[in-house]
Chain A
Amino acid sequence: MSTEAMTSTRSSLPRWMTNLRAKEAIAGYIFLSPWLLGIILFIVGPMMTSGFLSFTRYDIVNPPEFVGLKNFIEIFTKDRLFWPSMMLTFRYALIVVPLSLIGALAAAMLLNQALLGTTWFRTFFFLPHLTPIVAAAVLWGWIFNADVGPINHWIRTITGSDNAPGWFRDPDWAMTGLIIMAMWGAIGGNTMLIFLAGLQGVPQELYDAAVVDGAGIWAKFRNVTLPMLTPTIFFNMVLGIIGALRVFAAAYVATQGGPAYSTWFYALHIYTRAFQYFEMGYASALAWIFFFVLFVFTYVQFRQSRRWVYYAGEVD
């Protein structure tokens, strides 16, 4: 049956054409091959390996020893840093991402007002985004210095009291410090540029129609600008949350996860278990839990997005 179908297709098409098709496919695969190989070598292979390792005890020196679900049970029942680190990582992401999206949208709208010197303002907003995270952590560490940093100096001057936050030295304030630092880098960054282009792409006639219907500034924003930007907001939200949940360098350099584990992010937890204690099996289990949580979280966001993301090009 299938042979018949194949011969009939082949006979209905001129021979050179099927050859051309095959040639095209082969060439396509050849150009694709570095990436295919890369996916196998650096993504799929390692993922399967770490999946396997998560069921073992492995300290690099001795061969991996199969322990079943022991790692997972230990993580959920005995690991005293697992739940706190997971929670504070999510708390961080769920504060940083929405705030930086709102900030980026506000900044983009400001830059869309055709003010004189807009190019300069755009550059000023964008520069923090260019600062290497490590350099940012170093310089903010100094700005947040509890004793002689400028921020605390201003806080003391304004409030008139000697009580100022200890920032990276203070368990209650270290997270806030990291959030401020992240926002500084994120608000004027790529998201803002993308929003700016999005704003400029909103069709003029939609605003005209809104004005005819008596819409004020807020109504125009709420009913025209915002819906038109939802695809961009969604895209940036998904990638932003994934990026924020993976926060490592900023925390490692600025606070080393402290003080008192107040910035002990999940990635720091994995890193410590893997590369300080060399518990590769245990750390792989931690990493897989992380991957699973991220996957579910992203999936839920995609499901939810159908309710609020509006694609202008979509027929439905």
Chain B
Amino acid sequence: MAGEVITRNRKQAGGGFIPVGAFQSASFQRAFGRGILYLIAVSSSAVFMFPFVWTVLSSLKRGGELFRFPPTWLPEIPQFQNYPTVFEIVPWATWTWNSTFVAVVSTFGAVLTAALVGYSFARFRYPARDVLFILTLSTMMLPVEVTLIPLYLMFAEIGWLDSYRPLIVPSFFGGSAFLIFLMRQFFMSIPIDLDEAARIDGANYLRIFWQILMPLSIPVTATAAVLTFMSQWNEFLQPFIFLNTKSKYTLAIGIRYFQAVAGFADDTEPKYHLLMAASVMMTAPIIIMFFLAQRYLVQGIVMSGIKG
């Protein structure tokens, strides 16, 4: 399929040499093929987008409308007040703040320290560096389950359970192998002559990092920050294990709590329409962030994955 592009280019380039009739039938075939490709692209877009559309539409219905048979697409009267209602029946504002706080602080710590560690791997020569780098990469394959129980016990021992420290503090120790790898790869693409010139001018290592490399690394830093923020925002297992108090929940576990109670009609009717509104509100910031950072993000993801 990918090769088709070339075939097309060839035909366009060599169009003058091909008899007119043959060209026409080829172009018909090509148009037919393109038509099918468009059909596939549009229909698969519809499949991918359908759950979103359904969720948004459901979030604007009245509670009972969701149980109608056969199901309806559009809400009879869009119920925009469903969204504020979520804030009334669960502490949604608090949870949103908690998620934001945890995600922002741990992203800051992770990106900053990952950049420092990446700088070390990219620019310094020292014994065991390459071994340590391979060790770093291999931690990507370590299942968190193996360390979770001792971490839980450790945090219990020092009285950190039911606080945000277990979610935030570990981020300040290099973030993750993935981030370190991302930063190192980028630093390695910056010519070392810049460092050397700065050194001759008397800059120390920290200054080179902060005033030469970091300003040149804004795109990759942005990518790292957005990816970390997203994964922290979405993280379920750790907050689920480390947090107990309802008012300390992050959105990921808050929405699960909401889901668990939404089915039980404690007063009037099931709250699935509100649950859908909550899902939309949890997803929206991530999607907005993606659109703002799209250009960098795609580059960053590609850069991190292209070298196996």
A176 at the A/B interface (Cβ < 8 Å)? no
Q: Does A38 contact B (CB under 8 A)?
A: yes
Contact across chains for B124 and A130 when beta carbons are under 8 A apart:
no
Asked if B139 and A43 sit within 8 Å, CB to CB, the answer is yes
Query: A129-167: which have CB < 8 Å to B?
Result: 130-136, 138-143, 147-150, 153
Beta-carbon contact of A109 and B1 below 8 Å: yes
Contact B125 A21 (CB under 8 A): yes
Q: Which residues of B contact A190 (CB under 8 A)?
A: 301, 305
Say whether, besides A190-B301, A270-B145, A38 and B170 are in contact (CB < 8 Å): yes
The answer to whether residues A132 and B234 also contact, given A139-B279, A224-B3 and a CB cut-off of 8 A, is yes
B67 at the interface (CB under 8 A from A): yes
CB 8 Å contact bits of B19-57 with A (1 = contact, 0 = none): 000000000000000100110110011001101101100
Q: Which of A135, A284, A287 contacts B283 (CB 8 A)?
A: A135
Measured as residues with beta carbon below 8 angstroms from the partner, the interface class of chain B is: 35 or more
Q: Is the CB of B125 within 8 A of A35?
A: no
Check if A83 is an interface residue, CB within 8 A of chain B: no
Binds B, one of A1-9, A10-18, A46-54, A72-80: A46-54
The contact of A32 among B132, B142, B241, by CB within 8 Å, is B132
Contact assessment for A217 and B4 in the assembled complex, using a CB-CB cutoff below 8 Å: yes
Q: Which residues of B contact A220 (CB under 8 A)?
A: 2-3
B124 touches A28 (CB 8 A): yes
Tell me if B125 and A25 are in contact (CB < 8 A). Answer: yes
Residues in A with CB closer than 8 Å to B180 are 35
Determine whether B194 belongs to the interface, using a CB cutoff of 8 Å to chain A: no
Most buried by B among A32, A197, A267, A274: A32
Q: Which residues of B contact A225 (CB under 8 A)?
A: 2-3
List B residues 129-183 near A (Cβ within 8 Å): 129, 132, 135-136, 139-154, 156, 170, 172-174, 180
Within 8 A of B (CB), among A18-61: 21, 24-25, 27-32, 34-39, 41-43, 45-47, 49-50, 53, 60
* List of B residues within 8 angstroms of A50 by Cβ: 146-147, 149-150
Q: Is the CB of A248 within 8 A of B5?
A: no
- Write the nearest CB–CB distance from B26 to chain A, whole angstroms: 14
A38, A194, A248, A284, most chain B CB atoms within 10 A: A38
Question: Given A138-B259, A139-B55, A114–B145 Cβ distance below 8 Å?
Answer: no
CA separation between A184 and B38, bound complex, in Å?
A: 20
- On whether the beta carbons of B233 and A25 are closer than 8 Å, the reply is no
CA distance A268 to B242 in the complex (A): 16
Contact present for A280 and B45 (CB under 8 Å): no
CA distance A21 to B124 in the complex (A): 9
Q: Is the CB of A211 within 8 A of B3?
A: yes
Contacts of A28 in B (CB 8 A): 120, 123-126, 129
Other A-B pairs, 14, CB within 8 Å; known A125-B44, A287-B146: A24-B124, A24-B125, A31-B205, A41-B170, A46-B150, A107-B44, A130-B283, A148-B67, A194-B306, A221-B1, A246-B144, A267-B145, A291-B146, A309-B308
22 A-B pairs within 8 Å (CB atoms) are namely A25-B125, A28-B124, A31-B205, A43-B142, A46-B148, A60-B156, A110-B44, A112-B2, A115-B41, A120-B45, A128-B48, A128-B51, A128-B52, A130-B230, A134-B255, A142-B272, A153-B70, A194-B305, A224-B3, A267-B145, A270-B145, A311-B308
Q: Give residues in A with beta carbon < 8 Å to B.
A: 21, 24-25, 27-32, 34-39, 41-43, 45-47, 49-50, 53, 60, 107, 109-115, 117, 120-121, 123-128, 130-136, 138-143, 147-150, 153, 184, 187-188, 190-191, 193-194, 196-199, 201-202, 204, 207-208, 210-211, 215, 217, 220-221, 224-225, 231-232, 234-236, 238-239, 242, 245-246, 248-249, 252-253, 267, 270-271, 274-275, 280, 283-284, 287-288, 290-291, 294-295, 298, 309, 311
